[in-house]
Amino acid sequence: MSPDGTLPDWTEGGEGLAFARCRSCGDIQYFRRPFCPACGSEDLGVEAASGRGTVHAVTVVARAPSPDLQAHAPYGLALVDAREGFRFMAHCPPEGIAIGDPVRTTFRAFGTGLVPFVTPENHP
Amino acid sequence: MSRITGIGLTPFGRLPGLSTLDLMSRAATDALADAGLERCEIDGLITGYSTTHPHLMLSTVFAEHFGLRPAYAHAIQLGGATGFALVMLAHLMVEAGAARRILVVAGENRLSGQSRDAAIQTLAQVGHPTYEVPLGPTIPAYYGLVASRYAHAHGIDDHAELAVLMRANAARTPGAHLSEPITAAMVRESKSIAAPLRLLDCCPVSDGGAAFVIERDDPARRGPGIRGAAQAHTHQHVSAAASLTAFGAGDAAARALAQGGIALADIRYAAIYDSFTITLAILLEEIGLAPRGAAGRLAREGHFSPGGAMPLNTHGGLLSYGHCGVGGAMAHLAETVRQMRGEAGPRQVEAPALALLHGDGGVLSSHVSLVLENGR
């Protein structure tokens, strides 16, 4: 499912959050390129993230960017600091979530694909 | 040093029937007339971009349309930072001797030339195409995320006073898109767009155009001089920003001031990008024109009012004069020039000796600062 055919990744329709770690300098990237932006090495290892992290920022989209997505509004959007050391954008509940909350990740259908959906760890 | 010898600024708002090239032409005509120049005296042309007129070569499309045969032409794309980036490039080029008189021009029928849905959708595409756009963010959502972090750091989740000030300023400015008075309560009760941002925290989408003539310093020519110009680029996408509370604005402004040997304390007028109230608050604070967390309080106390210590966007800014894309921030510079010349009519402040201008593009990711000195 991932570009190297081993790990599921939501950007390709799979239920997973993948990232890459540079085997040369250790730099971690979420926005994937075929090289390390820190040192230029092309020796990257793709890993599956746990989906656990902490909310860094959060908003609620009341006005969606297109009429087809407006049916989903309001929807929460968060920037989440993953335990593995990268930041990712995810959907979240529009209420009951705040900066600093520990979260876990599932995936839900949105638009034409799957997107990460984070909920507070203490929610059932 | 370079000098701004001509300005052109159209009204902003709904201007039906005018295309990108029409709006650019109107602004350029006004700037040339203001500078007392003919087309043949322009040897450089620098333009921005237009979402309603996407083209590989907008600068030469405009040159042909308007009747220019410049020795140098260039179109720049840097989001909201474009307007001041055009001015900075013109400044560098005339200082380097690569051109003598450069026309800088932008315009767009961003409101009338497409549906509001199309405008919002186009702008949202500045997000990462794989990791952000599929989640349905909007430009206000990117800034809503930033605003949530500001609220977390400072315990302040609204800057209604900045919106009220921009509207009051616009009410004294002919050609402003929005001039009906608003109160802080109206801002706080307006409909939510991307929490904590509400409708009146957001600039409108407008039609409009703006242009300048920028020339090499010449004792025979009058106009404010550009004493410093600097940029900083820290990231593109909000997910990749190293910090949501510290950006490159302070760095760019400090280097622009240092070029002219000017202290921030000597600045008497501020023209700061204000796509959202949170944008304006963060930029004012990062540049040092307000302590961290205090932009809203200073606005409430009148510090940034026309009669205050640091008049700010006296034309009404993007929040109320309007935002037509590249020309949006250029209106801040046109107003600064008018204030320096003493031509700002009922909103004239004491003509400032020195002004600081700052624009940002993307999600506080691209920064351009300019320092202007009142000319002879």
β-pair type (B44-47, B101-109)? parallel
Chain B residues closer than 8 Å to A65 by CB = 120-121, 124, 136-138
Residue B230 token pair: 């600097």
For residues B213 and B140, state if they share a domain: no
Chain A residues closer than 8 Å to B128 by CB = 31
For residues B191 and B242, state if they share a domain: yes
**How far does the CA of residue A92 sit from the closest CA of chain B (Å)?**
11
Report pLDDT for B27. 98
- What is the separation of C-alpha A46 from the centre of its chain, rounded to a whole number of angstroms? 15
- Do the domain assignments include residue A3? no
For residues A16 and A36, state if they share a domain: yes
**Which domain, by its residues, includes A86?**
53-120
Q: Chain B neighbours among A 45-74 (CB < 8 Å)?
A: 56-67, 69, 72, 74
Q: Is B96 exposed, middle or buried (0-12, 13-18, 19+ CB in 10 A)?
A: exposed
Q: How many beta-carbon pairs under 8 angstroms link A with B?
A: 104
For residues A104 and A70, state if they share a domain: yes
Chain B residues closer than 8 Å to A58 by CB = 145, 148
For residues A91 and A40, state if they share a domain: no
Report pLDDT for B158. 84
- Do the domain assignments include residue B47? yes
Collapsing DSSP states into helix, strand and coil, what is residue A34?
Answer: coil
**How far does the CA of residue A57 sit from the closest CA of chain B (Å)?**
5
The answer to whether the CB of B286 falls within 8 A of the CB of B154 is no
Contact assignment for B136 to A61 by CB distance below 8 Å? yes
Interface ipTM: 0.95
- Do the domain assignments include residue B6? yes
For residues B235 and B303, state if they share a domain: yes
Give the Cα separation of B373 and B259 in Å (integer). Answer: 13
Domain boundary among B178, B195, B223: B223
Q: Which is nearest to B255 in space by CA: B215, B291, B227? A: B227
For residues B247 and B344, state if they share a domain: yes
Instruction: At B126, give phi and psi (nearest 5°).
Output: -70, -15
Chain B residues closer than 8 Å to A110 by CB = 134-136
The answer to whether the CB of B73 falls within 8 A of the CB of B169 is no
**How far does the CA of residue A101 sit from the closest CA of chain B (Å)?**
12
User: What's the CATH number where A112 sits?
Assistant: 2.40.50
A106 touches chain B (CB under 8 A): no
The answer to which of B2-11, B116-125, B227-236 has the lowest mean pLDDT is B116-125
- pLDDT per residue as tens digits for the range B141-156: 999 999 999 999 999 9
Give the Cα separation of B187 and B99 in Å (integer). Answer: 46
Count up the domains in chain B and report the number. Answer: 2
Report pLDDT for A5. 57
Q: Is the pLDDT of residue A3 over 80?
A: no
Give the nearest partner residue to A89 out of B117, B149, B239, using CB atoms.
Answer: B239
Q: Which is nearest to B24 in space by CA: B103, B115, B116? A: B103
Chain A residues closer than 8 Å to B124 by CB = 65
For residues B134 and B240, state if they share a domain: yes
- Transcribe B12-59 into DSSP letters: -B--TT--HHHHHHHHHHHHHHHHT--GGG--EEEE---TTS--TTHH
Contact assignment for B130 to A91 by CB distance below 8 Å? no
For residues B173 and B290, state if they share a domain: yes
Which residue carries 């405009």 as its tokens?
B62
Contact assignment for A62 to B132 by CB distance below 8 Å? no
- pLDDT per residue as tens digits for the range A90-112: 999 999 999 999 999 999 999 98
- pLDDT per residue as tens digits for the range A47-72: 999 999 999 999 999 999 999 999 99
Q: What is the CA radius of gyration of chain A?
A: 15
Contact assignment for B137 to A79 by CB distance below 8 Å? no
For residues B29 and B140, state if they share a domain: no
Contact assignment for B244 to A56 by CB distance below 8 Å? yes
The mean predicted confidence, pLDDT, of chain A is: 94
Q: Is the pLDDT of residue B372 over 60?
A: yes
The answer to whether the CB of B264 falls within 8 A of the CB of B288 is yes
Looking at chain A, the whole-number percentage of residues with pLDDT higher than 90 is: 90
User: What's the CATH number where B69 sits?
Assistant: 3.40.47.10
Q: Is the pLDDT of residue B128 over 90?
A: yes
A113 touches chain B (CB under 8 A): yes
Contact assignment for A62 to B194 by CB distance below 8 Å? yes
Report pLDDT for B116. 81
For residues A64 and A111, state if they share a domain: yes
Kindly state the average pLDDT of the residues B123-149: 94
Report pLDDT for A4. 52
Give the Cα separation of B117 and B142 in Å (integer). Answer: 17
How far, CA to CA in Å, does B138 sit from each of A25, B128, B132, B197, B283?
Answer: 35, 12, 10, 12, 21
Q: Is the pLDDT of residue B73 over 80?
A: yes
For residues B156 and B298, state if they share a domain: yes
Domain boundary among B223, B254, B269: B223
- pLDDT per residue as tens digits for the range B249-304: 999 999 999 999 999 999 999 999 999 999 999 999 999 999 999 999 999 999 99
For residues A100 and A43, state if they share a domain: no
For residues B248 and B260, state if they share a domain: yes
Helix axis angle for B20-35 and B58-66, nearest 10°, is 60
For residues A116 and A68, state if they share a domain: yes
For residues A84 and A41, state if they share a domain: no
Count up the domains in chain A and report the number. Answer: 2
For residues B196 and B212, state if they share a domain: no
For residues B214 and B243, state if they share a domain: no
Quick one: pLDDT band at residue B124, thresholds 50, 70, 90? confident
For residues B261 and B315, state if they share a domain: yes
How far, CA to CA in Å, does B144 sit from each of A89, B199, B243?
Answer: 13, 12, 15
Contact assignment for A77 to B141 by CB distance below 8 Å? yes
Chain A residues closer than 8 Å to B192 by CB = 60, 62, 74
Chain B residues closer than 8 Å to A80 by CB = none
Report pLDDT for B119. 85
Q: Is the pLDDT of residue A2 over 50?
A: no
For residues A60 and A34, state if they share a domain: no
**How far does the CA of residue B137 sit from the closest CA of chain A (Å)?**
7
pTM of the full structure: 0.96
B195 touches chain A (CB under 8 A): yes
Q: Chain B neighbours among A 72-101 (CB < 8 Å)?
A: 72, 74-75, 77-79, 87-91, 99-100
- Do the domain assignments include residue B186? yes
- pLDDT per residue as tens digits for the range B179-227: 999 999 999 999 999 999 999 999 999 999 999 999 999 989 999 999 9
**Which domain, by its residues, includes B338?**
128-204+229-373
Contact assignment for A77 to B135 by CB distance below 8 Å? yes
Report pLDDT for A124. 59
- Do the domain assignments include residue B121? no
Kindly state the average pLDDT of the residues B115-138: 90
For residues A110 and A62, state if they share a domain: yes
Q: Is the pLDDT of residue A1 over 60?
A: no
Quote the strand ranges of chain A, DSSP E: 18-22, 28-29, 44-48, 53-61, 75-82, 87-92, 102-110, 113-120
Helix axis angle for B249-259 and B277-287, nearest 10°, is 50
- Do the domain assignments include residue A1? no
